[in-house]
Structure 1
Amino acid sequence: MDRVSIVHENFLRRVPAQDFPVGDSPVETLEPADALSVFRAQVLSRALDLQSRVMQKQGQGFYTIGSSGHEGMAAVGHALRVDDMAFLHYRDAAFQIARAGKAGHEGIMRDMLLSFACAAEDPTSGGRHKVLGSRPLMIPPQTSTIASHLPKAVGAAHSIGLARRNRPEHAVLARDGIVMCSFGDASLNHSTAQGAINAACWTAVQAVPLPLLFVCEDNGIGISTKTPTGWVKSSMSIRPGLKYFEADGLDMYAAFAAAREAAEWVRLHRKPAFLHLRTVRLYGHAGPDVVTSYLPKAEVEADEAHDPLLYSARGLIAAGAAFAEEVLGIYQGTLADVADAAQEMAEIPRLKNAGEVMKSLIPPARVCAPSNGPSADRRAEIFGGDLAQMDQPQPMSRLINWAMHDLMLTHDETLLMGEDVGRKGGNYGVTQKLHARFGPARVIDTLLDEQSILGLAIGLAHNGFIPMPEIQFLAYLHNAEDQLRGEAATLPFFSNGQWANPMVVRISALGYQKGFGGHFHNDNSLAVLRDIPGLIIACPSSGDEAAMMLREAHRLAREEQRAVIFVEPIALYPMRDLLEAGDGGWMRSYPAPDRRIGLDTVGVHGDGVDLAIVTYGNGHYLSRQAQHDLAASGIDARVIDLRWLAPLPEQALLEAIGDRPVLIVDECRRTGGQAEALMALMLEAGKHQTARIVAEDSFIATGPAYGVTMPSREGIVAAAQRLVNGTAD
C-alpha cells in the first residue's frame, strides 16, 4: 500500500483497539464540546488531503501539498479570536477550518474543494491558485514563497499600536487584537524569516508595542533536508525581546493550552512571542513525493505512528467526550461527505481565458472620505518659514519634501518609514523636518533591513494606513524585491481583489552621481520592477512634476489601492542649472497642493517637427540640453518625457510623437531597459524611423568615469543627427 493508505488503515485499526501513542492529554484544557469541534476540524482537514489526491488522479484537482500531521493547528485556530489577523503556513488548513467553525462560517468544506479544483467560484482566489485565506475570517492569502509573509506580519502587528492613536479610515484590526503568523522549521532558516524575527525583537526591546505571535510548526524536515535536533529551541528560546513557548503540537489539548497561554501573554504585554509546536509530516512533501526514497522506512513509520488524529482520539475517549465508535464515525462520515461533495467539482467552471485570469491584477477602487486639506493656519504652523519660499524656484529634493509635508497634513493615515528618514532627514535631505513636525509614530526610523522596511509597509497597509517606505538606493532593493513581487503586487491577484497592499515606495535611484558610490549608489536598471504585473512605476525628472506625480501616486494608493514605485533620480535632486552654470534652468516653483499629473500622460517640451526624443529621468535632463544644441545645428526637436514607466502611457506617447522620427534615450541598460519595450511599441505602431541610445550592459564606476557607460548630451546630439540625416553609425 502507499503511505496514504497505510496511515488511513492504521487509524481504522488502532482506534477500536485503543492502541494510542503513549502519554496523557491535558484534557481539562478543553471543554468536551470544544474538543469535539476541534477534532472535527482536524478530521475535515485530513479528509480534504485524501480527496485532493483522488482529484489529482481524476484530473480534477491541482494541488496536493497537504496539512496531514499538522492538524494540531486546529487547536491554535480555536485558541485565537476570529478577528486576530492570521498569516498562515501552507499546511494550516486545519487552522482555517477551525476558525470557520468558531465564526459560524458555513461551507468551508466546499470552499476548500473549490480551491483544489482551481474553480472560478473559489471564494479565496477565484481559481487562480490554491491558497489558504478568507476575508471574513481575517486570513490574508499567502503565496508559496518561503517565509515571505513574516515581514508583513510584523508590520500588521505594529499597525495595531499606531492605530490606537491614529485610526485610519479603512482600519480592520481591533485595538486589543494580535497578529499570528505560522511557518515551518525549514522556513525558519530563510533570511526573510530571520530578518522578520530580528525586526520584531529589535522593536520589542525598545518598548514599542508589537502584539505578534510567531508559530513554528516543527516537523523536523524541509522537503528532504533534516532540521538538526534542538535547532529551533536553541536558536529561538534565547532571543532578546521574544517570549518563548513550546508544546506538543500532536496533542490538540496541549497545543490549545500553549496557544491560549501564548496568545493571552501577547495580548496582555503587547510584545512578540514564539510558539514552538512539535508536529510530524505525513505522506511526504506533496503528492508526487515518495518519502521512502530519501528517508529510512523505519523513520517514516515512526512518524506515522504519531498521527495527531490518534492523539486526539485518545484524549476524547479519556475525557469522556466520545466513545471509540463515535470517533470512527466522525472520521468515516467526514471522508464520505467530502467524497460526495467532490463529485460536484467536475462540473464547476474554471477560468477560461487571459482576461478572466488577469481580472484581479488591478485591485478595485475603494470609497474614501473627501478631504479639503488642512486649514491655512495648520499649514502655516507646520511649514513655518518654508511657506514664504514656496513662490521661489527650488531644486527637486525640496519640492518632493514639501509634497510629502502636504500629503501628511491632508491624510493622517500617511506614514513614512525607512533607514535614516527621521532625525537625519534622509541621505539627501529629502525627508528633513518631517520627523520633527509629525513625530516618530508617522516618520519611522527603521532598522537597516530592506525586507523589514517593505514588510512593515505591507502590514501597515493591511490595517488601512497609506505607507510611503523609502529604499535608500535602488541597488539595495534587490535585498527585498520579493516583498514586492511575492507579496505586495500579487495579493490582489491571489485574493480575487479582496485584499490589496496600497503603498508608495520611494527609491533614490539611477546614475550620474559624480564620483560617489559606484554601482552600489548608482544603479541604472529597473528591469526587476518592470516585469511585475500590476505595479506602477513613476519616474519624475523636474521638481514641480515630482511633487504633482507624488500626489497622484498617493491618490492611486489611497483610492485605487495600487502599489506604486516612485523612482527619484538622485543626480537631479540638487540640480539647479540646465545649459550653463548659474542659469537656474532646472529649478521650479512649488505647484499648488491640489495639482496632480495623471497616470496616462506624458510631458511634451517643444513643437519641433524634425524629431521626437522619447526619454525620462536623467535622460530628460540631458535631452533638453541636446534639444538646445540640435536647434543650433538646424534640427528642431520635440522632447517627450515618459514620466510613467509602467504601465507605459502608450496612447499619449504615440499622439505626442505624431509623424516624427523617434530617438529613444534610455539611461538604463541595453538589455532589460525601457528602450526594448519602446522599440517594440514603435515597430508595432509602424514607426520604422526609430533609433535608440542606451547605457551599456555594465555597472557604473566610481570617479571620473562615472558617466561613460551611459548616454551623454553629446551622444544624444550625435545620435539625433544621424537619425535625421539618415547616416549610419
Structure 2
Amino acid sequence: MDRAGIVHETFLKRVAAHDFPQGPAARRDVSPEKMVEIFRAQCLSRQLDRTSRAMQKAGQGYYTIGSSGHEGMAAVAESLRPTDMAFLHYRDAAFQIQRAAQVPGQTPAWDILLSFAASRDDPISGGRHKVLGSKTLNIPPQTSTIASHLPKAMGVAYSIGLARRLKPDHSTLPYDAVVMCSFGDASANHSTAQGAINAACWSSYQSVPMPLLLVCEDNGIGISTPTPEGWIAANFAHRPGLRYFACNGLDMTETLAVAGAAAAYVRRHRKPAFLHLRTVRLYGHAGSDVEATYRSPQAIAADEANDPLLHSVRLMHERAACAPQDALAIYNEADAACTRIAAQAVTRPRLKTREDVAASLIPPARQVVPSNGPDASERQTLFGSDMRAMTEPQPMGRLISWALADLMHAHKEIIVAGEDVGRKGGVYGATQKLQARFGPDRVIDTLLDEQSILGLALGLAHNGFIPIPEIQFLAYLHNAEDQLRGEAATLSFFSNGQFTNPMVLRIAGLGYQKGFGGHFHNDNSLAVLRDIPGLVIACPSNGADAAMMLREAVRLAREEQRVVVFIEPIALYPMRDLHVAGDGGWLHHYPAPDQRIALGDVGVAGDGTDIALVSYGNGRYLSEQAAAILVDQGIAARVVDIRWLAPQPDAAILAATQDCASVLIVDECRRTGSQSEALLSLFAESGRTRVARLTAEDCFIATGPAYAATLPSVEGIVSAALELAQGAS
C-alpha cells in the first residue's frame, strides 16, 4: 500500500474535520507568527518527500529517503543561528528549510528538488548525490551517514576555542558559534557515535571548550530493528560532562523552547549538550522499504495517527495562530509549489561524462598567506642545541621531527594531534620537543580512539587549520578508516568543491621491526588506502626524502586543500647503516627548509641499464643493498624509488626505467592488493615484457626471529633479479 498517499489523505480529512491527536497545550512563549513560519517549513519538507516519490515513479528522481515524521527539526533550526555549523541527519530537510528562512534570498524547494533530480545545477553536490547541505547555510553535506559525521562535528566544536586563541587565516566560524550534529536513535548505538560522544565528554570533563549540540532524533526504530523503550535516555542522560535535554518533537512549541534552552546552554557554557527529540517515522525507512513486512499494522497506524503536522495544526488552532482551513491552504500551496518547481527541476541538465562526475574529486586550490620563512635568528631560538646536530647526518626519525618543527614555525595553522605525540614525543620520537616548542594548543595529546583522532582533524580542517594527525601504527587505522574513506575524501566530491578538509595524516607503518609487535605493529598492507579516490599517499624511504616530502604534503594540504596520508616506515626511523655496520650509509643531512620533493617526483639511485629495481619504503633500502651485490655478479642495476603511491607517478616511473632491459618490482606489501599490482599493470600496458615482481606473502607478520620470513629480503631480490636479467640476455 502507498503509505505516503494514506498519510496525505488522512491529514486532509482529519484537518478538515478538526480531528487532532491529543497532546499538551501549546506553550505561550512562542509567538503565533513564529508557529506559522515553522509550520510552513514543515509542510514544505513533507511535500518534498511526496514529490520525490512521484519523481522516482516517473523515472526523474533517484533517491527517496525522506524526512516525514521528523518535521520537528524545523524548530531546532529556529533555535540556532545560520553561523552555527550543522551536520545533519538525512531526515532533516525541515531543518535546512527553516534555516533558509533565516537567510535572505534562499530557495530551499528549488535547491532540494534539483538534488532529487540529480541535476548538475544542484547547488550543493552538483548532481552527484541526493544530499542536504548548503555553503551559504553553513551545512556541510552528509550522505546516508551512520554516525560517521559525529567525530568531525566534535572536531569542529573543539576548533572554535582553538581558533579564538590561534586565529588561523581561513577560520570561518564565529567565536560564540555552536556546532549542531543530528543523528537517529539507531545510529546512537554505533561505535563511531559512542566514540565521538565519549571524546566530547572527555574534553568537557577536563573543562576543555566543546560547544557541541548533539540531537538524537528518536523515532524508535532503525530500519526494522526497534530501539528498546527508554534506551536513549538511559544511555545518555547521566554521562559526565554532557547535559541532557528531552522534548516531544511532535510539538513545535515544546521543541522550540527546549532546543532553545539546550542551544543557550551550549553557547553560554561552551559544553556539550544532548537533545533527545522524540519523533515518529512515516512511510518506512525509504522508498523501497515495505514497512508492513516487519511492523504490525497497529504500530504503523499508531505512528501515522501521531503525524507531527496534525499536532502542529492543533497547536496553531489552540493559539489562534492559524485556523485549520488556513493550515490546509498552506499545506496545499506547498504541494502545488513542489509540483510546479519539480517540473522545472527535471529539465535541468544532469552529469553525463566521467569528467563531469570526477570534476570535484580534487578540491580547488586556494590563496594562502605566504610562509613565515626560515628566519635564521628565530630558527636558532627554536631549535637551540639541535642546530649543532643539523651539521651532522641523522636518521629518519630525527629529520622528520625537525621538518615538523620547521613547518609549524612557518605555518601557524598547523596542529599536530594524536596519542602520545606531546609529552612523550611519539612512540618513536618523531614528535619529540614539539609540544615544548609550540605548546599544548598546537601539539595535542588525544585520547586513545583513532576515530576521534581523525574526527578532530577533520573538524579542525573545516575551520581553517591544517591538521597533522598521527595514527601510531598502520594496523590501528582500520579502527577509523571510514573517517578517510567516507568523510575526508568525499567532502569535496559531494559538495562540488565548496567544503574541504585538508590534512596530512602521518602513520607509522610497514614491516621489518625486529622482535616487536607482530602484525599489529608490523602491518604491511596499504590496500585500504590505495583505492580511495582523490587521496594522496606518500611513503619516503630515507630521512632527507621524508623531510622534503613532508613539506610537499603540507603544501598540498595548505594550498591545494588535499588529503594526504604520509606512511613512515617504522623500521627505517633509526636506521643508520646501509651495507656494513658503521658505514652510516642511511644517515642523511637535514635538507634546507625551502627544499621539497614535488608530488610525482621519483628517486633514482645508480645508472645501470641491465635491470631497474622499482620499489618504495623498506623495499628501496633493501634494493640498494641488493644492487651492490648484483654489481659483483656482473649485473648493473639502478634503484627507482616511486615515493608517491597515489596518484602513482606513471610517467616518471616509465621515464626512469625506459632504458633498462628488465624491471623487477620489489614490494614489501602483500602480493594481493599491493602496489605491485598497479606497477605490473603500468608496465604491461606500456608494452614492457621483461617485468617481474617480488612481494611479501599473503600472510600476517610474526613476532620474534621470524619477523621478516614472509617479507622480501636482500637475498630474494638478488635471486629474482639474476633470474630476470639473465633471461633477458
TM-score (norm 2): 0.99
Residue 236 (structure 1) aligns with: 236
Letter in 2 for 1:389: A
Q: CA offsets, 1:334-390, max 9 Å, x none?
A: 101111111113321111011100111100001101124253222222211101211
CA contact (8 A) 2:26 2:319 kept: no
Matches within 5 A, 1:329-368: 329-368=329-368
Q: What corresponds to 1:724 in structure 2?
A: 725
Shift of 1:659: 2.9
CA contact (8 A) 2:515 2:705 kept: yes
Residue identity opposite 1:270 in structure 2 = R
The one-letter amino acid of 1:368's match is V
Deviation at residue 145 of structure 1 after TM alignment: 3.1
Contact 1:662 1:690 in 2 (8 A): yes
Range moving further from structure 2, 428-437 or 217-226? 428-437
1:219-251 Cα offsets, whole Å, 9 max, x none, are 000000000000000110010000000000011
- d(CA) in 1 for partners of 2:105 and 2:176? 23
Match of 2:682 in 1: 681
Letter in 1 for 2:664: L
Tell me the distance in 2 between the aligned counterparts of 1:675 and 1:23. Answer: 66
Distance of 1:513 and 1:235 partners within structure 2? 42
Mapped to 2, the partners of 1:432 and 1:554 lie a distance apart of: 19
Give me the whole-angstrom Cα distance separating, in 1, the residues matched to 2:157 and 2:491: 18
2:505 paired residue number: 505
- Worse-superposed segment, 79-88 or 5-14: 5-14
Distance across 1 between alignment mates of 2:273 and 2:521: 37
Identical counterparts, % of pairs: 66
Deviations 1:415-442 (A, max 9, x none): 0000100101110011111111111111
Correspondence for 1:424? 424
Q: Residue in 2 aligned with 1:59?
A: 59
Cα displacement string for residues 462-515 of structure 1 (whole angstroms, at most 9, x for unaligned residues)? 000000000000000000000000000011111111111100000000000001
Matches within 5 A, 1:261-300: 261-300=261-300
User: How much does 1:28 deviate?
Assistant: 2.0
| Code of the aligned partner of 1:674 | Q
Once residues 499 and 373 of structure 2 are traced to their aligned partners in structure 1, the CA distance between those partners, rounded to angstroms, is 28
Which SS does the other structure have where 2:478 is aligned? Answer: helix
Aligned to 1:712: 713
Whole-angstrom CA distance in 2 between matches of 1:297 and 1:697 = 52
Question: Hey, what does 1:466 align to over in structure 2?
Answer: 466
Aligned to 1:125: 125
Q: Which residue in the other structure is 1:11 paired with?
A: 11
SS at match of 1:103: coil
Query: What letter matches 1:512 in structure 2?
Result: Y
For the Cα contact (< 8 Å) 2:26–2:318, is it kept in 1?
no
How many residue pairs are counted as aligned between the two chains? 728
Distance 1:129 1:115 in 2: 7
Amino acid at match of 2:49: D
Instruction: Note the C-alpha offset of 1:2.
Output: 2.1
1:316 aligns with 316
SS in 2 for 1:289: coil
Q: Give the match for residue 579 of structure 1.
A: 579
SS of the residue corresponding to residue 28 of structure 1 reads coil
Separation (CA, whole Å) in 2 of partners of 1:307 and 1:553: 52
| Residues in 2 aligned to 1:174 and 1:105: alpha-carbon distance in whole angstroms | 22
Q: Distance in 1 between matches of 2:475 and 2:692?
A: 28
Residue by residue, what CA displacement relative to the aligned partner does 1:292-320 show, whole Å, maximum 9, x if unpaired?
11111011111001100011111111112
**How far apart, CA to CA, are the structure 2 residues paired with 1:106 and 1:675?**
51
What CA distance in whole angstroms lies between the structure 2 residues aligned with 1:355 and 1:654? 25
C-alpha separation in 1, matches of 2:410 and 2:346: 52
Superposition map of 1:138-217 within 5 A: 138-217=138-217
Does structure 1 conserve the Cα–Cα contact (< 8 Å) formed by 2:672 and 2:698?
yes
Partner residue in 1 for 2:700: 699
What is the RMSD computed on CA atoms of the aligned residues? Answer: 1.0
Instruction: State the shift of 1:707 in Å.
Output: 0.4
Bigger shift: residues 290-299 or 186-195: 290-299
- C-alpha offsets along residues 662-685 of structure 1, whole Å, 9 cap, x if unaligned? 000000000000000000000000
Contact 1:604 1:656 in 2 (8 A): yes
Amino acid at match of 2:467: P
Partners of 2:106 and 2:721 lie apart in 1 by 67
2:552 maps to a residue whose letter is E
Query: For 1:133, what is the secondary structure of its paired residue?
Result: strand
Following superposition, the deviation at residue 195 of structure 1 comes to 0.4
Deviation at 1:4, TM superposition (A): 1.1
Q: Is the 8 A contact 1:60 1:345 kept in 2?
A: no
Q: In 1, are the aligned partners of 2:372 and 2:411 still within 8 Å (CA)? A: no
What is the deviation of 1:143? Answer: 2.1
**Native 8 Å contact 1:25 1:254 kept in 2:** no
Write the letter of the residue equivalent to 1:694: T
Once the two structures are TM-superposed, the CA of residue 106 in structure 1 deviates from its matched residue by 2.2
Cα deviation per residue 1:276-304 (whole Å; 9 max; x = unaligned)? Answer: 00000000001121111111101111100
Q: Distance in 2 between matches of 1:609 and 1:306?
A: 78
- 1:143 aligned partner, one-letter code: T
Q: CA deviation at 1:727?
A: 8.2
Alignment check: 8 A CA contact 1:602 1:643 kept: yes
Aligned match of 2:663: 662
Give the unaligned 5+ runs of structure 2.
none
Q: Is the 8 A contact 2:374 2:593 kept in 1?
A: no
Q: Which contiguous aligned blocks of 4+ residues in structure 1 show a shift greater than 6 angstroms?
A: none
CA distance in structure 1 between the partners assigned to 2:107 and 2:602 by the alignment: 50
Match of 1:42 in 2: 42
Give 2:404's aligned residue.
Answer: 404
TM-aligned CA deviation for residue 717 of structure 1: 0.6
- Take 2:346 and 2:307, find their aligned partners in 1: how far apart are those partners? 31
After TM superposition, give the deviation of residue 259 of structure 1 in Å: 0.7
Distance 1:597 1:374 in 2: 18
Secondary structure at the aligned position of 1:140 is classed as: strand
Q: Corresponding residue for 1:91?
A: 91
- Equivalent pair of 2:89/2:145 in contact (CA under 8 Å): no
What aligned pairs does 1:294-693 form with structure 2 within 5 A after superposition? Answer: 294-660=294-660, 661-693=662-694
| Aligned residues of 2:472 and 2:508 also touching (Cα < 8 A) | yes
Deviations 1:536-586 (A, max 9, x none): 000000101100000000000000000000000000000000000000000
- Map of 1:253-268 to 2, 5 A cutoff? 253-268=253-268
Name whichever of 338-347 and 306-315 sits farther off: 338-347
State the one-letter code of the partner of 2:551.
Answer: R
Bigger mean CA deviation after superposition, 492-501 or 570-579: 492-501
Offset, 1:658: 1.1
Superimposed CA distance per residue, residues 19-39 of structure 1 (whole angstroms, 9 cap, x where no aligned partner): 111123433232222211111
Task: State the SS of the aligned residue for 2:567.
Answer: strand
Q: Is the 8 A contact 1:143 1:486 kept in 2?
A: no
SS in structure 1 opposite 2:139? coil
Query: Contact 2:114 / 2:346 at 8 angstroms: preserved in 1?
Result: no
1:686 partner amino acid: G
Instruction: Answer yes or no: is 1:81 the counterpart of 2:60.
Output: no
Q: Deviation string for 1:677-697 (max 9, x for gaps)?
A: 000000000011101100000
Of stretches 344-353 and 216-225 in structure 1, the one that deviates more from structure 2 is: 344-353
Amino acid at match of 1:426: G
Letter paired with 2:698: D
Quote the Cα distance in structure 2 between the aligned partners of 1:525 and 1:341: 50
